[in-house]
Chain A
């Protein structure tokens, strides 16, 4: 490495890195002392290296914590390879057996991996996608005979609204033959929750496991407000199974499907012997993602990840199977299948008083449309009340009604809540104020009464709708038709809004410059995606038009006055275009037909605005389609 006049970049860099042999190093140092040009170049190189090192530490994959997960994954793969390795998984005949009671709660998630062999191979037929997913959902209900002990590591990470992370451990002993099961949920080594069933049929569940998942035709509605892994996942899987899937890419080792509304499902063989299913759905502002990695041979999941995200909240749950072993039923401690907690004294009277048993409401077919509508109404009604009134009030879905439970500080607040929510149909109230709570639990139970649906309208157009949809002589059938009508309209409006958001995001992600750069295959995929969103949007628009036109058109005045429409969303909406129209329409429908705040628009003007929006939507959709085909400006 000789130099005549100046140092080479290599020498300067190697000198900085301390990689020059001693003789050359002193030569370079001597030269640098007298040559400002080389000093300047070395400084330049040094600052570039410094920047690179910093950038690499910040942005390069993988970040911290990678090794731990990689090691875990490696160990599991080795266990499958090694016939005599310690902690080897049991033979394929031992399967997951969880769902012995509704109590299995959170853990059901892990069991969903049991699905039939060769699914990846058969998945190429779109018809089997839905069937396969359904199979996946059903599989956890199958009963298997061998007793098994499983340990699962659970990591729950919330990044919004605040960063919070929890690591927990789940341990399950299952002896289906003996009818015994036990499940422990631990924080470090402290037992936090438990569920168990003993051979004599005794069942115990600690509170966190006892909640039943709600059901709803709409994913966002069914997971909104619930932060329970099981509820999110069950709703998501049920939703996935109900979709129509179209193949997008079929490869040797991976298949991609798109559903009718843009959800993608990817089945992929990752390392030999492992299949990964990834389902991702983005709708309006909510993203749900579910990933499961499972053993191709035994069909047992090794790792599962559920991610749920919306602008104000985001959460991820990761399940990693730590160990799984056959159990000898004879050696199981009988005490395992009884409460692991020491018996506690009964709850103090105040606590007993605020959660009294409720009288039963009118019988309804389980989880009907009315309930969905009533749920929306109750949510909106609660939102309209002052925040400190409703801090400790929650809405619970039951089979045939919605229960609004909780505590308020004063009797005045309680009365206020009852005045608003008591008017809603199918809603039972169990609100107590702290100052009124009686001394004993008995009197508290007695003070709760079923509140009859009142005569006043629950939303602006209710009376009008009741007139138009009336079934003579049958009030409850009329009410049912009104609720079904508004629920259907709300569903279609939110579908249109969802598609508009999807189109908007697509346009944002691929601005003109970027789209010109993508490869033809990508362009093709994007075109397909875009077209599918546009199709769904047009279809929903047509359905909405034909639903509302015959009923609402006579209500619209010839000329509407301007007014501001209230919109509950948090994200900024563009000033014009598809998204603006769709969000206005969604707000109008919710305001007119579900009792959400309507802004300073009168109901009749609202109807007129709704029809205007419906009219504007069609040419706007056409404009977006042409703009996309033409190229440059794609923003809608």
Chain B
């Protein structure tokens, strides 16, 4: 693919899909700088593939996979440095948060931690106004699974909001975002 064509394609994709991808990266890393870097890496990789003449059928799914892999690679590097990897969301294991504790997590992102990785992915994509079919294509799953994940995510969040509101009235630490009350 020619330089101009590839650049145009990527710029369009950055506009439409970039913010959603950045949100996914943020979900994985919990750090804005790191997510920006992951997105940039993914788009550069896509660009290089296109320039080589590769056919990428679904660039959204492709870049999302790259972001996931690179985020996992980061985590492995951290693990190799002797830090312990814990079970559960990868959200807890990225160094950027440790280094910059002052960058408080978004409240909503914090709430989303009660969901499984797949549920978070589906919900975030739906919040970006994507159709079930588009989400399914992006994640390589069935349309009906999208509905299932979404419904489950919403149920869990409802339960979490209730639990936190109850906890809050008893003086617990976790707060419910004002926007969700």
- Measuring CB to CB, which residues of chain A are less than 8 angstroms from any residue of chain B? 1, 8-14, 17, 19, 44-45, 48-49, 51-56, 58-62, 66-67, 70-71, 73-75, 77-78, 81-82, 84-85, 249, 251-254, 256, 264, 266, 270-272, 276, 509-510, 513-514, 517, 519-522, 525-526
Contacts and interface: CB of A to CB of B under 8 A. Distances in A.
22 contacts: A1-B144, A12-B151, A13-B151, A14-B147, A45-B154, A48-B157, A55-B179, A56-B127, A59-B179, A60-B23, A67-B18, A70-B22, A74-B11, A75-B7, A84-B3, A251-B77, A254-B95, A256-B99, A514-B173, A519-B84, A519-B98, A526-B101
In the complex, the 4 A-B pairs of residues with the closest C-beta atoms, listed nearest first: A55-B179, A9-B151, A513-B173, A10-B147
A74 B14 contact: yes
Given A17-B132, A61-B22, A521 B173 contact: no
B158 A74 contact: no
A525 B92 CA distance: 16
Contacts, number: 155
A521 B78 CA distance: 12
B137 interface: no
Contact of A60 (B11, B15, B109): B109
B18 A70 contact: yes
A58 B109 CA distance: 12
B142 interface: no
Contacts of A61: 22-23, 26, 32, 35, 106, 109
B98 A271 contact: no
B165 to A, nearest CB: 13
A1 B147 CA distance: 11
Contacts of A522: 98, 101
Contacts of A509: 101-102
Q: Could you tell me the dominant secondary structure of chain B's interface residues?
A: helix
Contact of A249 (B48, B95, B151): B95
Interface in B90-131: 92, 95, 98-99, 101-102, 106-109, 123-124, 126-127, 131
Contact of B40 (A73, A510, A514): A73
A153 B97 CA distance: 30
A71 B14 contact: yes
B150 interface: yes
A13 B158 CA distance: 14
Given A251-B78, A521-B98, 20 more contacts: A10-B147, A52-B157, A55-B177, A56-B124, A60-B124, A62-B26, A70-B39, A70-B40, A74-B10, A74-B14, A78-B47, A81-B44, A81-B47, A252-B80, A509-B101, A509-B102, A520-B84, A522-B98, A522-B101, A525-B98
Contacts of B52: none
Contacts of A71: 11, 14-15
Contact of A266 (B99, B127, B150, B157): B99
B44 A66 contact: no
A253 B33 CA distance: 14
A82 B147 CA distance: 43
B54 interface: no
Nearest to B99: A256
A62 B19 contact: yes
A257 B18 CA distance: 32
Given A19-B131, A67-B18, A252 B179 contact: no
Interface in B49-88: 77-78, 80-81, 83-84, 86
Contacts of B95: 249, 251, 254
A53 B16 CA distance: 18
A53 B108 CA distance: 11
A51 B162 CA distance: 14
Given A9-B154, A13-B150, A14-B147, A82 B98 contact: no
Q: Could you tell me the dominant secondary structure of chain A's interface residues?
A: helix
Contacts of A85: 3
A10 B151 contact: yes
Contacts of B177: 55, 59
B148 interface: yes
Contact of B106 (A59, A77, A249, A526): A59
Contacts of A13: 147, 150-151, 154
A436 B57 CA distance: 79
Given A10-B147, A48-B157, A266-B99, A62 B23 contact: yes
A55 to B, nearest CB: 4
Contacts of A44: 158
Contact of B127 (A52, A254, A514, A525): A52
Nearest to B109: A60
Given A9-B155, A48-B158, A56 B37 contact: no
A59 B105 CA distance: 10
B157 A74 contact: no
B35 A66 contact: no
Contacts of B84: 519-520
Interface string B169-181: 0000100010110
Contacts of B102: 509
B48 to A, nearest CB: 7
A519 B32 CA distance: 21
A253 B41 CA distance: 15
Contacts of A254: 95
B115 to A, nearest CB: 11
Contacts of A1: 144
B90 to A, nearest CB: 14
Contacts of B126: 17
Given A251-B77, A521-B83, A67 B14 contact: yes
Query: Most chain-B Cβ atoms within 10 A of its Cβ — which of A10, A60, A254?
Result: A60
A521 B82 CA distance: 10
A577 B102 CA distance: 23
